[in-house]
Structure 1
Amino acid sequence: MQKTAEDFLNGQILLIDKPLNWTSFQAVNKLRWEIRQAFKIKKIKVGHAGTLDPLATGLLVICTGKMTKQINTFQGQEKEYTGTFVIGSTTPSFDLETEIDKTFPTDHITETLIHETTKQFIGAIEQFPPVFSAIKKDGKRLYEFARAGESVDIKSRTVTISAFEITKIDGNHLNFRVVCSKGTYIRSLANDFGAALNSGAHLSVLRRTRIGDFLVKNATSIDGFIESLTTN
C-alpha cells in the first residue's frame, strides 16, 4: 500500500540498508529531504535508532514523525553484527579509518586457540570505547582529541555479549558473528580479541544484521526507498 504524507507525519519505521561510506546522519538527512520533496512537506522529524560508522553497512532503523518518540526504545535493543577481523596488525582507530601502526606475530595462533579465546568475551565484559569515536568528553568528541594528537582519559563501560563466534578462518582473516547489547563497539572487540590472542587485530568489515526483531534482510536500499516515494 502506498504511503501518504500523513502516514510519514503520524510515524513510520523505515528499515534501511546503509551503504558503505555513508554516515548515519547523511542517510537520515537524505531520507528526510526526499520525503519532504515527494510530499511538499515543510518540516518532518526523522531520526535513527543506533549509529553505524561510515565504514560499516547494514541495518539502520529510521523513524519518522511521531514514531521518533520510540527511538530510545529501539536503540536499547539487542544487536547482531557480522564482519571480519584481521589478526596480526592493529590501527589507532581499530578499523580501516586509519593506517596500520603495529604488526604482531601470528605463528602461535591455531584454530583451537581462536575458538577458545572467543569464550573470554561472552557475558558482561568491561570494554573501552575506541579513541576514534563520537563519544563526548568535556564537550568534545573523542575523535576530535584523537585527530589533534591529544591524549584523553577514557573510562571503560560494561557491555554484554550474548554470542560471539568465528564463522570462517581464512589465513589472517576471521569472519565473525556477534550478538551484543547497546553500546558495544565491535572495533574495540577486534582490538581486545587480538590482544587476548597475544597478537593484534583490527576490524576490516562490519555489517549490522539485526536490531531487536528488525532484520536487515527486510531492509531496503536508500535508492529503493526513494524509488518507492516517486511511484506514489
Structure 2
Amino acid sequence: MNLGKKASDFDFEEGEILLFNKPLHWTSFDVVNKVRQVLKKYTGQKKLKVGHAGTLDPLATGLLLICSGKMTKSIDKFQGQEKEYTGTMLLGATTPSFDLETAIDRRFDISHLKEGELHAAAQTLTGEIEQVAPAFSALKIEGERAYEKARRGEKPVIRARKVHIPVFELTAIRRPEVDFRVICSKGTYIRSLMHDFGQALNNGACLTVLTRTRIGDFKLSSAWEVNDFVQMIKAEGNESLS
C-alpha cells in the first residue's frame, strides 16, 4: 500500500493512509509531527490534517497508521481494529511501569517454574479478560494523564475494563527472557498483560521489547521507515524540505 510509491502517487489532501515503523524512543506524536511537517511543506497546505490511529509507547516499535486529509475522519474506525504484537518479557522481575521505563523494584526466584506452567499461565489470559491499565499510562484520570500523577508519586485509581485476547502464545523461552505473540482488541495494554502473566504464576514479569506487527489488515511489512519516507518526498525535487 505504501512501499514503492512516489510522492506524486499520493493525494495527501484528499486523504491517505500511511504505514510507518515507529522508531524506538520516538513517541507516536513525534512521528505524526515529522510527517505533518514534511507533508505541509510538500503540499503547501498549512492546515493539512494529519493524525495517527493507535498510540505506541516510546519503548515500543512497529506499525503506526497515520492518516492525512479527509482520511483522518476514519481514525476511530482504524483504532478499533484487532492488533497483533510480538515481543519479549523479563520473567522474575517487576517495575512500577510494567516495562523498562522505570527501574526494577522486585525480583523473584524462577528456578522452580516449569515450561508447562508458563504456557498454562498464558492460556488463562486469553479470551475476554478484565485488565487494569498501568499507572504509567496516558489514560486521563480527573482530567490529567495517569503517568503525570504516577511520576509525582501518586497512585491513580484506574478501573478494570474488559478486553479480548484471542491469542497469547509463548514463542521462545530463554530464561529469564520469554518471547511472545499476542492478538488483542482495542484498548489492550501489553505491559499490563505481562504483569498479569507474572501474577498468574505467583511471580513477576515485565515487558522489555514490543513490536506491533498488524492493525486489522495493515501489516508492518508494508510500512515505511520514517527517514525513507522523508527521502522519498525529497526525491520529487522539493528542495525546501529538510
The question of whether the paired residues in 1 share the 8 Å contact of 2:10 and 2:16 is answered with no
Tell me whether 1:29 sits opposite 2:33 in the alignment.
Answer: yes
Deviations 1:27-55 (A, max 9, x none): 00000001112232222100011000000
Greater shift in the superposed pair: 99-108 or 59-68: 99-108
Q: Which amino acid aligns with 1:152?
A: P
Deviations 1:52-104 (A, max 9, x none): 00000000011000000010000000000000010111000000000000111
What is the percentage of aligned positions where both structures have the same residue? 55
Q: Pick one of 43, 48, 55 that aligns with 2:47.
A: 43
- The alpha-carbon deviation at position 198 of structure 1 amounts to 1.2
**1:174 to 1:6, Cα distance in 2 relative to 1, 3 A:** closer
1:1-232 alignment to 2 at 5 Å?
A: 2-4=6-8, 7-232=11-236
Deviations 1:191-216 (A, max 9, x none): 00001111100000000000000000
The question of whether the paired residues in 2 share the 8 Å contact of 1:5 and 1:39 is answered with no
The unaligned stretches of length 5 or more in structure 1 are none
- Would you identify which runs of 4 or more consecutive aligned residues in structure 1 move more than 6 Å? none
CA distance in 2, matches of 1:102, 1:39: 52
Q: What is the Cα-based RMSD across aligned positions, in Å?
A: 1.2
The unaligned stretches of length 5 or more in structure 2 are 237-242
The question of whether the paired residues in 1 share the 8 Å contact of 2:133 and 2:192 is answered with yes
**1:6 to 1:213, Cα distance in 2 relative to 1, 3 A:** closer
- The alpha-carbon deviation at position 154 of structure 1 amounts to 1.1
Q: Which amino acid aligns with 1:25?
A: F
Q: Which amino acid aligns with 1:85?
A: M
Deviations 1:3-33 (A, max 9, x none): 3498100000000000000000010000000
The alignment of Structure 1 onto Structure 2 pairs a total of residues equal to 232
**TM-score (ref. length: structure 1):** 0.97
The question of whether the paired residues in 2 share the 8 Å contact of 1:59 and 1:208 is answered with yes
**1:197 to 1:225, Cα distance in 2 relative to 1, 3 A:** same
Q: Which amino acid aligns with 1:83?
A: G
Greater shift in the superposed pair: 143-152 or 126-135: 143-152
- The alpha-carbon deviation at position 133 of structure 1 amounts to 0.2
The question of whether the paired residues in 1 share the 8 Å contact of 2:90 and 2:206 is answered with yes
CA distance in 1, matches of 2:168, 2:138: 25
CA distance in 2, matches of 1:113, 1:94: 21
